Amino acid sequence: MNCHLDENQVEYYRTNGFVVIDDFLSAEELEHWRETVIYAVARRNGRKMPGKNLKTGEADGINEDAAYYGKVFDQLLNLWQTDEGVKELMLDDRIGKMAADLAGVEGIRIWHDQALFKRPWANPTSWHLDTPFWSFSDRKALSIWVALDDATLENGCLFFIPGSCHETTFENKGIGKNMDSIFEVYPQFLRTNAVKAPMKAGSCSFHNGLTIHGANANMTSGFRRAMTCAYMPDGNTFNGTANILPEEYLKTLSLEDPLNNDAQNPLIYHR
Ligand SMILES: O=C(O)CCC(=O)C(=O)O
Ligand SMILES: [Fe+2]
């Protein structure tokens, strides 16, 4: 695993709110990630996340049009909680250190992992922010996105609005049918050139959860599969948003309680 970050990469991330790391996984590691994730996804039988009876493509109360959203990607969350192989991949402290170094924080917890598989002919992923969906509010929260297939302009690679994380707030738009809704909230970026992030399988990107980002439709007959993980800097507190927290745990939480439950949000790295 190419887990070394040089100063230029950290600087690039801090300036632009994302960074692409080529050849993150070796060929053998990629094969292992692919097999592990595909197996874990298959075992879910479409069930989106542990603790909720929701299937991919069903309304989740966040994205308005379930039928449309279900064709953006198959989204399976917290595979680390239901599959030992994925758990081993996701709890890797080398990745935790990369996330902590980029964010410039002391410790990193998993918020949630998610497999995001664009099927052949999938809808685009409209421009959006991530962090406003989550149950804590931290301008440094971020995600890794690992390409399990080559992600190309044709099959739905990611795009970023560079530097947007420095100006966005926690106002968001869902991943809906209109690509451009987020620009109603942040019109200052209407004329910004997006940066494309095609990646070879095994490469990855990190992006700040407040960087405006999206992805193309899949214009091909093949899959565009990615494994991702969202990270919460250690020390965050509950902001009242349920997001993916299980009912049982939510019942125990009051506003501003620390989110430090290792069974839900494991600390994968601390300095
Ligand atoms: O894979 C995609 O199409 C979108 C990914 C994304 O929005 C994310 O990882 O935050
Ligand atoms: Fe996102």
Q: What is the pLDDT of residues 201-245, one digit of tens each?
A: 999 999 999 999 999 999 999 999 999 999 999 999 999 999 999
Residue 57 has pLDDT above 90, yes or no: no
Best residue among 145, 157, 165 to mutate for probing ligand 1's pocket (most ligand atoms within 8 Å of CB) is 145
Q: How far apart are CA 74 and CA 69, in angstroms?
A: 9
Residue 128 alpha carbon to ligand 2 centre in Å:
6
Q: Tell whether ligand 1 has an atom less than 6 A from the beta carbon of residue 168.
A: no
Question: What pTM was estimated for this model as a whole?
Answer: 0.97
Residue 4 alpha carbon to ligand 1 centre in Å:
23
Q: Tell whether ligand 1 has an atom less than 6 A from the beta carbon of residue 155.
A: no
Mean pLDDT value of segment 18-34: 98
Q: How far is CA 71 from CA 62, 117, 118, 174, in A?
A: 15, 10, 8, 15
User: Could you tell me where the DSSP H helices lie in 70-150?
Assistant: 84-90, 93-103
Which pair of structure tokens corresponds to residue 237? Answer: 């507190």
Q: Determine the atom of ligand 1 nearest the C-alpha atom of 156.
A: 3
Q: Tell whether ligand 1 has an atom less than 6 A from the beta carbon of residue 205.
A: no
Q: Tell whether ligand 1 has an atom less than 6 A from the beta carbon of residue 228.
A: yes
Ligand nearest to the CA of 214: 1
Domain boundaries, the chain: 7-270
Atom 7 in ligand 1: residue holding the nearest Cα: 214
Give me the DSSP letters along 146-173.
EESS-B-TTTT-EEE-TTGGGT--S---
Q: Which residues have a Cβ under 8 Å from the Cβ of 78 and sit 6 or more positions away?
A: 49, 50, 112, 113, 114, 244
Q: Tell whether ligand 1 has an atom less than 6 A from the beta carbon of residue 116.
A: yes
Q: Determine the atom of ligand 1 nearest the C-alpha atom of 73.
A: 3
Q: What is the pLDDT of residues 161-178, one digit of tens each?
A: 999 999 999 999 988 999
Confidence of residue 56 (pLDDT cuts 50, 70, 90): confident
| CATH fold for the domain made of 7-270 | Jelly Rolls (2.60.120)
Q: Tell whether ligand 1 has an atom less than 6 A from the beta carbon of residue 117.
A: no
Q: How far apart are CA 151 and CA 134, in angstroms?
A: 26
Q: Tell whether ligand 1 has an atom less than 6 A from the beta carbon of residue 203.
A: no
Least confident of 23-32, 57-66, 245-254: 57-66
Ligand nearest to the CA of 227: 1
Q: Tell whether ligand 1 has an atom less than 6 A from the beta carbon of residue 113.
A: no
Residue 54 has pLDDT above 80, yes or no: yes
